[in-house]
Amino acid sequence: MKILKQSIGIDVSKNDFKVCLGVIDERLETKNVYEYVYANDKKGIKQFIKDITTKTEKLTPAFFVMEATGVYHQELAYALAVKQFSVIILLPNKAKSFSRSINIRAKSDVIDAKLLCQMGLERKLSTWQAPETIFATLKILTREREALVLQRSKLKNQLHAYQTAFVKADKTISRIKGHILYLTRQIRDTQTDMMALVKQSHPVADKIKKITKVKGLSFLSVVTILAETDGFNIILNQKQLIGYSGLDVRVDQSGEKVTKGRITKKGNAHLRKALYMPALSACRTNATMKLFYTQLNQRQKAKKQGIIAVQRKLLLLTYSLWKTGQEYLEKCA
């Protein structure tokens, strides 16, 4: 019986990963032909690649499907990518939605591996491309900075509370001030590392310099956008970019009734956060964005919708300038 498609579902955990190999034949029947558990280390990954090479048909498309599980899936994903295998990495909510659609109520690592295998056989999924080293490193740095800024904000709020309290603990206040200064230095260091990393790649540095000519877009915001999109290598078009950012609008349509609600937020929260302050700045300093924001607010009451629209505009503008490498020329208002 001729095999039309092969899918290897992989459920990855800290110590091991469960594997399920499934196939679909010319009668469009599916079946699982191999299941096993491997250690999630270099030896286990090497053995898995050796075994799966002998278990799969060489002339039939095979897809390795796994979920993004923090960092535990990364070594396996990169090892498969080096061997030129087709790797698919799914967000956990996609796999969860699929399990609901086929009415699976139980959950275990083995069931999850079988579920991912079935999903790979039945659905057309986008293959994963290993990110370039510069963007992978920038992603670590930008997220580290974001976490440090969040910690510092919490400490500043605590400091304000302690300083305004009737009973004051001077040593506690002193320690919090010291911690805030330490975090400030750490934040500054992460940004210095980003700049040094970008300078190592002249094409990247040149494009970023051109994009930051857009009023409202700073070095940090542009670098974060590039880090979260792998330099837009994972983006195929503008529609996908808006969906990936979660800035697309939820539409509720029934019969003749069509209602547009809030943004879905089913996307990259780091990307949306990186665009919020630039959008506020652009509404004040960027003549084109200011005019767009003003005209939009004349037709609606909620000003927040205008900010979100400007976020989308800035994201698409960054995408366009990055892809074309053109200089930004601001139109007169």
Specify the higher pLDDT residue, 190 or 95: 190
What are the chain's domains?
3-122 (3.30.420.40), 133-200 (1.20.120), 223-324 (no CATH)
Instruction: Calculate mean pLDDT across residues 27-49.
Output: 94
Q: Which of the residue ranges 98-107, 110-119, 148-157, 313-322 would you say has the lowest mean pLDDT?
A: 98-107
Q: What's the burial of 216, exposed, middle or buried (CB within 10 Å: 0-12/13-18/19+)? A: buried
Q: Which tens digit of pLDDT belongs to each residue from 150-190?
A: 999 999 999 999 999 999 899 999 999 999 999 999 999 99
With H, G, I as helix, E, B as strand and everything else as coil, classify residue 306. helix
d(CA 145, CA 152): 10
DSSP letter string over 4-24?
EEEEEEEEE-SSEEEEEEEEE
The token pair that represents 69 in the structure block = 């599980």
What pLDDT score does 92 carry? 75
Q: Which tens digit of pLDDT belongs to each residue from 215-236?
A: 999 999 999 999 999 899 878 8
Name the band, by pLDDT with cuts 50, 70 and 90, for residue 332. Answer: low
Q: What's the burial of 51, exposed, middle or buried (CB within 10 Å: 0-12/13-18/19+)? A: middle
pTM above 0.75, yes or no: yes
Q: Which residues of 124-136 are buried (b: 16+ CB within 10 A; e: fewer)?
A: ebeebeebeebbe
Instruction: Calculate mean pLDDT across residues 275-300.
Output: 89
Given a cut of 50, is residue 333 above it in pLDDT?
no
CA distances from 168 to 136, 171, 172, 307 (A): 45, 9, 9, 41
d(CA 253, CA 260): 8
